[in-house]
Amino acid sequence: MDMSLRIHNQLMSLSCPRVMAIVNFSPDSFYTSCDVFDESHLLSCVESALLAGADILDIGACSTRPESSPVDAATEWQLLSRGLAIIRHHWSDVPISVDTFRADIAIQAIAHGADMINDVSGANADPHMWEVVAKHHVPYVLTHANPISQQDTMVDVLHFMQASLDKLHRMGIADVIIDPGFGFGKTIAQNYAILNQLDVLQVLHAPVLVGISRKSMLYQPLHASPLDVLPATVAANTLALERGVNILRVHDVAAARQTIQIHQLTTPCP
């Protein structure tokens, strides 16, 4: 099925998988971060991602790693606003997603050039988030971040996604990307159950994004660290592509781009 997102009043086709590059401004990130107070370092981070084949930049300034304490809204916006301004000054057309669970931050980010909101809480953290997205007509990444209660893990995810999509569509939000939320409120076994059944999400007729890159579901079973699991990330992303995923959210853009290119040799884009 051909899907697309409306960004800058233009359609981005998702008939071929896309790469979303993680650009962290938080020094508390579990893997890498870009220093927004060192402009040359930030520009190098972004330029490297774009040259490697990133289609979308996902910028964030509030760590959601396990056991982290979120920074306050003022600190989050201080980092985001500086980074967003620098990127927009040098790249006026690159699609930018902002990773935030705060509606007030989303409002300011959209006003300063953000094109999409990636809310890892699924609006659980801020009930006003959907109103903001509806008002500004920007794409929204809907994440499943609830604890799993059912024996069949994917049933829980499907029920949440279907109910949320119904509400979002009734509010006039047309561009919704669904993210099953690997690592959020899930055991390692549940994460792999979802990975194994990702193709089930196709029944929702919405683009699917996965963010597996260097996460604990990879490094814990391997008794490794986030630094060591690029090969495991490639393997997991390959499995996701086999199950119809549209967007890979990654730290390592070149590896993801090559993964997609090799996958397309056996499964060409429609």
Domain of 76, CATH number, reads 3.20.20.20
pLDDT at 254: 97
The yes-or-no verdict on residue 126 having pLDDT over 80 is yes
| H or E segment and range at residue 57 | strand 56-60
- The CB-based long-range contact list for 128-131 (8 Å cut-off, 24+ gap) reads 128/103, 129/101, 129/102, 129/103, 130/167, 130/168, 130/171, 130/173, 131/103, 131/171
Residue 3 falls inside a structural domain:
no
Binned at pLDDT 50, 70 and 90, residue 98 comes out as very high
Give the tokens for residue 246: 């549209």
Alpha-helical (H) ranges within 68-152 are: 73-90, 103-111, 129-136
The yes-or-no verdict on residue 120 having pLDDT over 90 is no
Residue 11 falls inside a structural domain:
no
**Residue 137 belongs to what domain range?**
17-265
pLDDT at 30: 58
Binned at pLDDT 50, 70 and 90, residue 124 comes out as confident
pLDDT at 31: 59
pLDDT at 144: 94
Segment 144-192, tens digit of pLDDT: 988 777 667 899 999 999 999 999 999 999 999 999 999 888 899 999 9
Question: What average pLDDT does the structure give for the chain?
Answer: 92
Amino acid letter, 193: A
Q: Average of pLDDT values for 118-138? A: 92
How far apart are the C-alpha atoms of 189 and 153, rounded to whole Å? 10
- The pLDDT > 70 percentage for the chain reads 94
Residue 9 falls inside a structural domain:
no
pLDDT at 11: 93
Domain count across the chain: 1
Residue 141 falls inside a structural domain:
yes
Residue 166 falls inside a structural domain:
yes
| CB contact set of 84 (below 8 Å; sequence gap of 6+) | 59, 96, 98, 109, 112, 113, 114
Q: Average of pLDDT values for 203-227? A: 95
- The pLDDT > 90 percentage for the chain reads 77
The yes-or-no verdict on residue 1 having pLDDT over 70 is no
Q: Do 191 and 228 contact (CB within 8 A), yes or no?
A: no
Residue 86 falls inside a structural domain:
yes
Binned at pLDDT 50, 70 and 90, residue 69 comes out as low
Residue 270 falls inside a structural domain:
no
The yes-or-no verdict on residue 234 having pLDDT over 90 is yes
- Please return the burial class of 147, using the count of CB atoms within 10 Å of its CB with bins 0-12, 13-18 and 19+: exposed
Pick 193 or 185 by higher pLDDT: 193
Residue 2 falls inside a structural domain:
no
Task: Give the torsion sign (CA, 100, 25, 247, 95).
Answer: positive
The yes-or-no verdict on residue 33 having pLDDT over 80 is no
pLDDT at 64: 65
